[in-house]
Chains A and B, each alone.
Chain A
C-alpha cells in the first residue's frame, strides 16, 4: 500500500526465552498516512510491545515492520529520523527544566544550538509551558509532564507519532489537555498511532480502531463499524424497584440472554431493531404490567460493549456485576 505510513505483517515477539509468552502473535496492521489509528486492548494485549517495535526500541522476532517507508530493523536510523514517541512513562530528564529538556533533545536531533533553542521556545509556547522557567520536571503536575513529553516528541515535526496510552494516570483535566493537543496535530498531516485502554479515548480521537487481544488484531474498523458489530442500538430502562427487573425482562420480545441487567443500578439493557417502535412498545408494556420506570433511553452501543463482546470477556463481567 503506497499511502501507508505504518505496515505490520505477521509481527511476533516473545519474551523470556522458549517457555515465554508471545506478546505479539502474528499481528497485522496497516495505517494510512495522515490518519489517527487507535489500538485498543486490555493490559497485556501487546500494545506497548507493538509501539516499542514500531519506534525501534525493540526488535520483532519475526515479521515485517515498516514505518514511514523504512524497515524498523534494517533501517532503524532512517525510521528514527521520522518518528516521535510518547511512551507510557514520561521520557524526560526529571532534574532539568522544560526548556533544558527540549534544547537537549533538539541538539540530539542535530538541529544546531540556535535552532534547538528557537524550537524549544516555540514548543513551550504552543503547549502552554512557556512560564515554567527553570522549574525541574520532577516538580511538574502529571498533565504538564505529559505535555512536555508530547512537545519533546514533536521537535522535528515527525511524519509518524506514537502515543502509548498517553492519558493513563492523568486526571480528567490532564486528559482533556492531551486530547486537545493531539487533535491539533492531526490537521498538520501527521500520522498518529495511539494505544489506549480507554474506549472513550479511541472513540474521541481515532479515525480507525484496531482491537488487539493476546498479541493479535481481532477487529478493525471505524468506531461506528465496530459498534455495528454488536448488532445496532440498545434501549436502557431504569426501574424504580430492582425486584421487578426479572418481570420487565420477561415482557421484552427478545431472548432473555441478550438483556444484561444490573440490579445495583436497577438497569436493563436490550438490543432493538426499530428505534421508535421499540421505545413506545417498551413504555406501553411496562405501563400495562404496572412496572414503574424512572428512565427509558435509546442509545448507540458503547465501545465497551463492543470490546467485551469481541474479547469474549462478557461472561466474566456479568459475573462481577
Chain B
C-alpha cells in the first residue's frame, strides 16, 4: 500500500492541476486578489503611520505574509467541497494510499501560493520595491513565507475536517480578515494602542513578516528564528490533528 504513496500523491496533485486547466479564470483571480490588496493599501488607504523608510518596502513583505495567511481559506474551501461532494468516499473505498488525498491538496496549494508570491513580488518590483539582501536572503525569505503557508495549509485542512460544512467556511472567511489585520502586515504595531500592539507582535504572521522584511531589506536576521519556530509549532499541533481527523472519517 505504501509502495504507491508517491504515485498516488502525484495522481492526486495532477487532479488539482487539471482543475486549474479547467478554470484558468479562477487561477488568475486568485493571483489578482493579493495584487489588488497591495495596490489598495499602497495607494488608496495610505497606511504606514510612524514609519521612517518607504512604505512600499514595508508593505510588500507584509502583503506576502498576508497572502500566505489568506491561503488558509482557499485550502479549507477546497477540502470542504471534496468532503461534501462524495468523491472522497470513492477515494476512501479504493486501494490507494490513505494520505494521497491530503498530499495532493498540499502540493497544489503550495504551488498556487508560490505563484501568488511571485506575482505579488513582480508587481511590487514595478512599484519600486527591491530585495536588497542578496540571493541567499531572498531564497530564505521565500522559504519562510512558504513555511508559514504550509502551517496555514494544515490548519485549513483541519478546520475543514472539523467543520465539514460550507456554512462554516464563510465564518472562517470572515474571521480571517481581522486575524490577518491583527498583524504588522500593513501597519506598525508602534502606531497602535499598547495592548493591541502587543497582540499584533505575537501574531505568528507578524513574526514571518518581520523576518521577511529583514531578509529582503538586508537589515539582519534577528526575526528569522521566530519565523521558523512559530510555523513549526503550528504544524506540530495541526498536522497530527488533521491526519487523525482524516483517519476518523471511518468512525
A interface residues with partner B (beta carbon < 8 Å): 55-59, 77, 80-81, 83, 85, 87, 89-96, 100, 104-105, 107-110, 136, 152-153
Of B15-23, B46-54, B141-149, B236-244, the segment with at least 4 beta carbons within 8 Å of chain A is: B15-23
Inter-subunit contact A91/B89 (CB<8 Å): yes
Query: Inside 8 A of B251's CB, which chain A residues have their CB?
Result: 58-59
Inter-subunit contact A57/B250 (CB<8 Å): yes
Q: How far is the CB of A185 from chain B (nearest CB, A)?
A: 18
Inter-subunit contact A85/B8 (CB<8 Å): no
| Cross-chain pairs A/B with CB under 8 angstroms, 28 sampled | A55-B93, A57-B89, A57-B93, A57-B249, A57-B250, A58-B250, A59-B250, A77-B95, A90-B85, A90-B86, A92-B85, A92-B86, A95-B19, A95-B22, A96-B15, A104-B14, A104-B18, A105-B90, A107-B11, A108-B11, A109-B94, A109-B95, A109-B96, A110-B7, A110-B95, A110-B96, A136-B22, A153-B90
Which of B23, B88, B92 has the most chain A CB atoms inside 10 A of its CB? B92
User: Which 4 A/B pairs are nearest by Cβ-Cβ distance?
Assistant: A91-B90, A89-B86, A80-B95, A91-B86
Q: Is the interface of A mostly helix, strand, loop or mixed?
A: loop
Return the contact of B85 from the options A94, A108, A109, A136 (Cβ within 8 A).
Answer: A94
Does residue B1 face the partner (Cβ distance < 8 Å to A)?
A: yes
Q: Mark B221-251, 1 if CB is under 8 A from A, else 0.
A: 0000000000000000000000000000111
Inter-subunit contact B87/A108 (CB<8 Å): no
Does residue B4 face the partner (Cβ distance < 8 Å to A)?
A: yes
Return the contact of A85 from the options B23, B90, B250 (Cβ within 8 A).
Answer: B90
- Interface band, chain B: 20 to 34
Return the contact of B87 from the options A58, A59, A92 (Cβ within 8 A).
Answer: A92
Does residue B118 face the partner (Cβ distance < 8 Å to A)?
A: no
In Å, the complex CA distance between A80 and B88 comes to 14
Inter-subunit contact B96/A85 (CB<8 Å): no
In Å, the complex CA distance between A100 and B16 comes to 12
Query: Inside 8 A of B94's CB, which chain A residues have their CB?
Result: 80, 105, 108-109
Query: Inside 8 A of B177's CB, which chain A residues have their CB?
Result: none
Inter-subunit contact A56/B93 (CB<8 Å): yes
Closest to A149 in B: B90
Does residue B33 face the partner (Cβ distance < 8 Å to A)?
A: no
Given contacts A109-B94, A136-B22, contact A56 B250 (CB under 8 A): yes
Closest to A136 in B: B22
Inter-subunit contact A152/B18 (CB<8 Å): no
In Å, the complex CA distance between A95 and B91 comes to 16
Q: Mark B92-112, 1 if CB is under 8 A from A, else 0.
A: 111110001000000000000
Q: Which of B154-192 contact A (CB under 8 A)?
A: none
Q: How far is the CB of B11 from chain A (nearest CB, A)?
A: 5
Inter-subunit contact A85/B93 (CB<8 Å): yes
Closest to B95 in A: A80
Closest to B91 in A: A108
Closest to A138 in B: B85
In Å, the complex CA distance between A304 and B8 comes to 46
Inter-subunit contact B22/A96 (CB<8 Å): yes
If A55-B93, A109-B95 are given as contacts, then 9 extra A-B residue pairs at C-beta distance below 8 Å, sorted by A number, are A56-B92, A58-B251, A59-B250, A85-B89, A85-B93, A87-B90, A90-B85, A91-B88, A96-B22
Q: How far is the CB of A215 from chain B (nearest CB, A)?
A: 17
In Å, the complex CA distance between A110 and B96 comes to 8
Q: Which of B16-35 contact A (CB under 8 A)?
A: 18-19, 22-23
Query: Inside 8 A of A80's CB, which chain B residues have their CB?
Result: 93-95
Q: How far is the CB of A100 from chain B (nearest CB, A)?
A: 6
Query: Inside 8 A of B86's CB, which chain A residues have their CB?
Result: 87, 89-92
Closest to A134 in B: B22
Q: How far is the CB of A111 from chain B (nearest CB, A)?
A: 11
Q: How far is the CB of B89 from chain A (nearest CB, A)?
A: 5
In Å, the complex CA distance between A108 and B92 comes to 11
Q: How far is the CB of A267 from chain B (nearest CB, A)?
A: 41
Q: How far is the CB of B132 from chain A (nearest CB, A)?
A: 42
